[in-house]
C-alpha cells in the first residue's frame, strides 16, 4: 500500500509522498517567478503616475513682474504595444494675477481721448465661481465731444459718471485648434441714468466685455502654455480637451486643463528623467 503511494522517508523520520513534496517545491518556484514577474513587468502593468513640479511663468503688468505657477500630473491609462496613453491634468495658480487685476485691466481699458471716451479703472477683482469665474470692474467714464466755433475747438462732456460691471467668464477649449478661450457674459451693471443705458445697449458695454476678456485670456494663455510647462518629451504630443476654474480655498483661483498624450516607451523614459531633473532644480 505504501509502495503504491510512492512514499519516501527523510532523515528526520517523517514520511512524505514524493508527489506532495514536488508540489511544494513547485509552489515555491511559482511564487518566486511571480515576484520576478512583478518587478520585471512592463510599464503597462503598473499604475504609472508622473507629477510635474511647479514652474513659474513670469508676466509683466504695468512694469510690475508677476507670475503664474503651473504644475500637473500625467497618469497612464492604456498601453498598446509600444504606444502609451496618458491622461493629463495641468493646474495654473492665478492668485498672483488676482492680486494684480486692477493694474492689468487699467493697462487695457484706461484711455484719455480729448474728443471721445475717457476711462479710468478704479478697482478690479477676479473670483472663482466654479466652473467659471467672475470679474468685477469699477471705473469712471466720460464721453466728450469736440466742436469748432469761430475757428476754435471747444470740448463738451456729453455723459459721465461711475459704473460697476460684473462679467462672468467661462473657460472652454476651441475644438479647431485646441486653444484655451473664455466665454464672457455681463451679469450685472450698476451705473447712473444715461451711462447705465449706454453700457446695457450701446457699443460701450461690448467694448468693455471684449477688452476685459482678452486681457485676462492673454495672461492665462501664457500661464498654461504647454511649451513652458510640460517637459520636452511630452510637449508635442499633449492635447487639451477640457478647461474649468476651481476654488483652491480662500477664493484662490485655479484654471485646470485636462487632456491626454500618446507617447512611446522611450519617450516615457525620457519624460521620467526630465521630471527628475526639474525636481532637482526646484529643490
In whole angstroms, give the CA distance from residue 135 to residue 199.
16
Question: What does the pLDDT average to over 252-259?
Answer: 96
Q: How far apart are CA 223 and CA 227, in angstroms?
A: 10
Asked if residue 282 has pLDDT above 90, the reply is: no
End-to-end, the C-alpha distance of the chain in Å comes to 73
Confidence of residue 283 (pLDDT cuts 50, 70, 90): low
Predicted pLDDT at 4: 38
Mind listing the pLDDT tens digit for each residue in 70-101? 999 999 999 887 899 999 999 999 999 999 99
Cell of 94: 492665478
User: Strand ranges (DSSP E) for the chain?
Assistant: 7-9, 15-17, 49-61, 64-80, 83-93, 111-112, 117-129, 132-149, 152-173, 180-191, 238-247, 253-264
Decide if pLDDT at 103 tops 90.
yes
| pLDDT value of position 228 | 85
> Residues 6 or more apart from 21 whose CB is under 8 A from it?
8
Q: Which residues of 49-67 are buried (b: 16+ CB within 10 A; e: fewer)?
A: ebebbebebebebeeeebe
Note whether 266 and 149 are within 8 A (CB): no
Residue 220 has pLDDT above 50, yes or no: yes
Per-residue pLDDT, 216: 96
CB neighbour class for 199 (10 Å; exposed up to 12, middle 13-18, buried from 19): buried
Residue 63 has pLDDT above 70, yes or no: yes
Between CA 189 and CA 209 the distance in angstroms is 12
What's the rounded mean pLDDT across residues 132-151? 92
Quick one: cell of 170? 467661462
The predicted model gives 41-45 an average pLDDT of 42
Is the pLDDT reported for residue 253 higher than 60?
A: yes
pLDDT of residue 6: 38
Asked if pLDDT for residue 177 goes beyond 50, the answer is yes
| Cα distance between residue 228 and residue 175, in whole Å | 22
Q: Which CATH number fits domain 47-283: 3.15.20, 1.10.260, 1.10.3470, 3.40.50?
A: 3.15.20
- Given a cut of 90, whether residue 67 has pLDDT beyond it is yes
- Phi, psi (deg, nearest 5) at residue 200: -80, -35
Q: What is the mean pLDDT of the chain?
A: 83
Range among 6-10, 32-36, 39-43, 143-147 rated most confident: 143-147
153 and 146 Cβ atoms separated by less than 8 Å = yes
Amino acid at each position: 500500500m505504501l509502495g503504491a503511494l510512492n512514499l519516501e522517508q527523510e532523515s528526520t523520520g517523517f514520511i512524505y509522498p514524493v508527489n506532495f513534496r514536488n508540489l511544494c517545491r513547485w509552489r515555491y518556484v511559482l511564487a518566486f517567478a511571480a515576484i520576478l514577474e512583478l518587478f520585471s513587468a512592463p510599464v503597462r502593468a503598473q499604475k504609472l503616475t508622473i507629477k510635474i513640479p511647479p514652474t513659474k511663468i513670469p508676466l509683466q503688468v504695468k512694469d510690475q513682474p508677476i507670475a503664474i505657477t503651473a504644475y500637473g500630473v500625467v497618469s497612464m491609462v492604456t498601453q498598446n504595444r509600444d504606444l502609451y496613453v496618458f491622461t493629463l491634468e495641468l493646474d495654473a495658480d492665478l492668485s498672483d494675477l488676482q492680486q494684480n487685476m486692477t493694474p492689468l485691466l487699467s493697462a487695457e481699458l484706461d484711455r484719455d481721448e480729448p474728443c471721445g471716451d475717457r476711462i479710468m479703472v478704479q478697482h478690479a477683482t477676479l473670483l472663482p465661481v466654479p466652473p467659471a469665474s467672475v470679474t468685477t470692474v469699477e471705473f469712471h467714464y466720460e464721453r466728450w465731444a469736440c466742436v469748432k466755433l469761430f475757428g476754435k475747438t471747444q470740448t463738451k462732456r456729453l455723459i459721465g459718471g461711475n459704473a460697476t460691471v460684473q462679467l462672468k467668464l467661462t473657460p472652454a477649449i476651441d475644438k479647431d485648434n485646441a486653444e484655451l478661450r473664455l466665454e464672457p457674459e455681463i451679469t450685472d451693471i450698476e451705473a447712473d441714468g444715461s451711462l447705465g443705458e449706454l453700457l446695457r445697449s450701446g457699443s460701450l458695454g461690448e467694448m468693455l466685455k471684449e477688452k476685459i476678456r482678452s486681457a485676462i485670456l492673454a495672461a492665462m494663455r501664457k500661464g498654461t502654455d504647454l511649451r513652458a510647462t510640460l517637459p520636452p518629451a511630452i510637449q508635442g504630443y499633449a492635447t487639451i480637451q477640457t478647461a474649468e476654474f476651481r476654488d483652491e480655498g480662500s477664493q484662490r483661483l485655479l484654471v485646470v486643463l485636462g487632456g491626454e498624450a500618446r507617447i512611446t516607451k522611450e519617450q516615457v523614459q525620457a519624460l521620467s528623467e526630465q521630471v527628475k531633473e526639474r525636481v532637482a532644480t526646484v529643490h
